[in-house]
A and B are shown apart, each in its own frame.
Chain A
Amino acid sequence: MSSLILPAILSGLTMGAIYALIALGLTLIYGVLHIINFAHGSLLMLALYAAYFLFLYGGVDPYLAIPILLPVFFCLGYVLQRWLIAPMSGGSEQNVLLVTLALALIIDNLALYFWTSNTRSVDIPYAYNTVEFLGAYLPLGRVIAFFAALAAAPLLWLFMARTRTGSAIRAVAIEKRGAEIVGIDVNHTYAICFGIGTACVSLAACLLLPTFYVTPQVGYTFVLVAFTTVVLGGMGSLPGALIAGLLLGVIESLCGLFLGESLGQIGIFIAFILILLFKPSGLLGRRAS
């Protein structure tokens, strides 16, 4: 068993990178908009289908689909927030929960209706390629996702810290009324933020597709662990989401190895409870004032 510990840790890190990628968009949307986006898993599913159909009908490799799907899903997120979620919720956070939940149900059932419950996956030439590292064989797709997550989190953080749009988003997150007074278009900024969060989901989908499958229910496979990642990392914290995702991946992998795969998720939730008990704001979250 001891010879399996290092491969299990490395495998956990690469799986955790996927969790982090999915959680990045979620934490951004929560951090700024204070929206707990129940439709996040459904949007992930939608992006997976988009990448799948690009591959199926256009022969577009899932990785090459990234520059196509990022703007498409940014626009989708922008439109959803600007012209659906915001007007329907009327500024109430409880209403937002219901609207995103309704959105999830609609997207899931439309997917089921149009694309049926068939499980689909892409047959790509490098599907079984691995990278050998310290004696462990790591699936190439997961290694790519790992480095993509390592790059995406700091890039997104830089965008938020160094650009005018990022500053506007942070301003709206901290003091909405004040931002309005200094001339920031709050509704536009909210929509941009939701758009970026949705674009992050499409990035995660393109990186996930080479190693996973697509069904109308696939979002639920990841959404719970993504919510856990966000809370563990600190709501709204991009570096926190990255660290928490990687941590959860390793914890899940090691618990699976030592306690059995059926009990692997216990580790995730034990870590979650411990963090909530001893550091309720999450690993890198700001303490509530």
Chain B
Amino acid sequence: MTYTLNRRSLLRASGAAALVGGLSMPSILRAQGQTVKIGVLEPLTGNLAYNGTQCAAGAKFAADAINAAGGIKSMGGAQIELVVVDAQSRPEIAASAVDTLAEAGVCAFTGASASALGLASSQAAAKYDLAQVFSIGTAETIVERGLPNVFRFTPGVNKCTSVALENLKLLNAAAGSPVKTAAIVHEDGPFGSNMAKIMAEKLPEQGIEVVETISHPTPHRDFNNIALRVKASGANILIPSNYLNEYTLMARALRQQRAELMAIYSILGGAASNIKFVRENNDVAQYVMDCNHWYDPNKPESQALAASVAEAGLDLTYDVMVSYATIQVIADALERGASTDRKAMIEALAASTFDGSIMPYGPTKFVNGDNVNSQPVNTQIRGDKIELVFPKEYATAEPVFPVPREG
């Protein structure tokens, strides 16, 4: 982890050193006992509970790692104390939970697993001048409202889609352009519908015709008809945008209906980058590709996180990774600003050039609250692992595209 040293932090550090040197031992003890509160607003119950719980776990791993490494050094080794609140998977609860965080005295908070929750919480947080560093929030509306307290560290839907399309183009070209047609299956909420719309517009520009677009509600009980329609469309590849449970049922139905596809290429796929899906549906999961949030597996901090997650008996999902990273970003802002003042936190985050997170991003640069140096990566399920296959500098395996024919 690296921290930028500027004039302000140098003066503060000098001041702190003078105090420490000039005053007595109890001052040191007070400084060592100091804590800074960071909020974690996630859906711990309700439909999004799995993602929220994973995010909360990621935040805890990050706080533990930072505290173990000496805490916030510019604040005398202040320890991070997380204040975790439940958004209950409901936007109105997410908004009211911000009051709880503000009363608890947090200097900033991370959250909230879904765009709808984050939109509500960040709006409510604006009146407290309380910064929200989004763990996951792909809807572009999040950064289009001009709220100064919004900091989206991870990429939004537009960037994810454009990178996914670019990578698909490269993969297809490298394989001799065998993919000519695509089917899109998406959940009918804003996330899936927006994605489907963008894909339907952009795929023809790559010479890929969209031959079938199917939306479905969440939850959805039966994917047989959808699999039948995908099969009947004769699509070469399937591009799904839906959540874990529906993705699992869809993948099973595709196998049962013997849909022959050159690839399943997901964008922000609910299951395609989820080790649980790999473990419980290993057969159908093979070679599924996804463009999603993922950490840089080569960084020592990433490897330490993977070990901690395994030790805790949890699944290493991207929720854990991005939440871990957002706490790193907040900790860096605290380190540079050396203050828990909310406005100072917003200023410190807005000026962030942090490049020590576990994500494969360049130095943080927030433009209108959007981190322009974030990027999604392509993963692919291989055996019992999720390998990073794109971009090459972070890759742990070569991509397999199209998938090998069975038998």
Determine if chain A interacts with chain B.
yes
Chain A residues with CB under 8 Å of B32's CB are none
Chain B residues with CB under 8 Å of A215's CB are 50, 245
Chain A residues with CB under 8 Å of B344's CB are none
Contact with B along A1-40 (1 / 0, CB 8 A): 1011001100100010000000000000000000000000
With contacts A4-B232, A11-B224 known, is A121 near B217, CB below 8 A? no
A163 is an interface residue with CB less than 8 A from chain B: no
Chain B residues with CB under 8 Å of A11's CB are 222, 224-225, 228
With contacts A112-B45, A213-B245 known, is A121 near B228, CB below 8 A? no
Contact check, A119 vs B248: say whether CB atoms are below 8 A apart. Answer: yes
In the complex, A197 Cα to B212 Cα: how many Å? 43
Instruction: With both chains docked as a complex, state the minimum distance between the C-beta of A268 and any C-beta of chain B, in angstroms.
Output: 11
The stretch that binds B, out of A86-94, A153-161, A255-263, A276-284, is A255-263
Contact check, B50 vs A119: say whether CB atoms are below 8 A apart. Answer: yes
Chain A residues with CB under 8 Å of B52's CB are 117
In the complex, A8 Cα to B216 Cα: how many Å? 16
With contacts A120-B280, A128-B256, A137-B258 known, is A261 near B216, CB below 8 A? yes
With contacts A3-B232, A215-B245, A262-B216 known, is A117 near B49, CB below 8 A? yes
In the complex, A217 Cα to B219 Cα: how many Å? 10
Chain A residues with CB under 8 Å of B252's CB are 127-128, 139, 211
Contact check, A117 vs B232: say whether CB atoms are below 8 A apart. Answer: no
Q: Give the number of chain B interface residues (Cβ < 8 Å).
A: 41
Q: Give the number of chain A interface residues (Cβ < 8 Å).
A: 39
A123 is an interface residue with CB less than 8 A from chain B: yes
Chain A residues with CB under 8 Å of B284's CB are 128
Picked from A3, A122, A221, the residue with its CB within 8 Å of the CB of B221 is A221
Chain B residues with CB under 8 Å of A1's CB are 232
A95 is an interface residue with CB less than 8 A from chain B: no
Contact check, B224 vs A139: say whether CB atoms are below 8 A apart. Answer: yes
Contact check, A262 vs B50: say whether CB atoms are below 8 A apart. Answer: no
A167 is an interface residue with CB less than 8 A from chain B: no
Interface of B is mostly: helix
A63 is an interface residue with CB less than 8 A from chain B: no
A269 is an interface residue with CB less than 8 A from chain B: no
Chain B residues with CB under 8 Å of A118's CB are 50, 276, 315
Chain B residues with CB under 8 Å of A265's CB are 217
Chain B residues with CB under 8 Å of A109's CB are 45
In the complex, A95 Cα to B315 Cα: how many Å? 42
Chain B residues with CB under 8 Å of A229's CB are none
Contact check, B225 vs A128: say whether CB atoms are below 8 A apart. Answer: no
Contact with B along A181-218 (1 / 0, CB 8 A): 00000000000000000000000000000011101110
Chain A residues with CB under 8 Å of B217's CB are 261-262, 264-265
- A-contacting residues, B267-288, CB 8 Å: 276, 279-284
Contact check, B248 vs A137: say whether CB atoms are below 8 A apart. Answer: no
Chain B residues with CB under 8 Å of A123's CB are 279-282
In the complex, A9 Cα to B245 Cα: how many Å? 24
Contact check, B248 vs A213: say whether CB atoms are below 8 A apart. Answer: yes
Instruction: With both chains docked as a complex, state the minimum distance between the C-beta of B384 and any C-beta of chain A, in angstroms.
Output: 12
Contact check, A261 vs B249: say whether CB atoms are below 8 A apart. Answer: no
Chain A residues with CB under 8 Å of B232's CB are 1, 3-4
Contact check, A7 vs B221: say whether CB atoms are below 8 A apart. Answer: no
B8 is an interface residue with CB less than 8 A from chain A: no
Contact check, A137 vs B257: say whether CB atoms are below 8 A apart. Answer: yes
Contact check, B244 vs A119: say whether CB atoms are below 8 A apart. Answer: yes
| Additional pairs, 16, CB under 8 Å, beyond known A119-B244, A253-B225 | A11-B222, A15-B224, A109-B45, A116-B50, A116-B53, A117-B49, A121-B248, A121-B280, A121-B281, A139-B253, A215-B245, A217-B46, A253-B222, A256-B225, A257-B225, A261-B217
Q: Which residues of B pack against A, CB within 8 Å?
A: 44-47, 49-50, 52-53, 188, 214-217, 219-222, 224-226, 228-229, 232, 244-245, 248-249, 252-253, 255-258, 276, 279-284, 315
Q: State the 10 A-B residue pairs at the shortest beta-carbon distance, nearest first.
A: A117-B49, A261-B216, A11-B224, A117-B50, A262-B188, A128-B255, A221-B219, A15-B222, A121-B280, A262-B215
A selection of 5 A-B contacts at a CB cut-off of 8 Å is A128-B283, A139-B252, A215-B245, A261-B215, A262-B217
Q: Which residues of A pack against B, CB within 8 Å?
A: 1, 3-4, 7-8, 11, 15, 109, 112, 116-123, 127-128, 130, 137, 139, 211-213, 215-217, 221-222, 252-253, 256-257, 260-262, 264-265
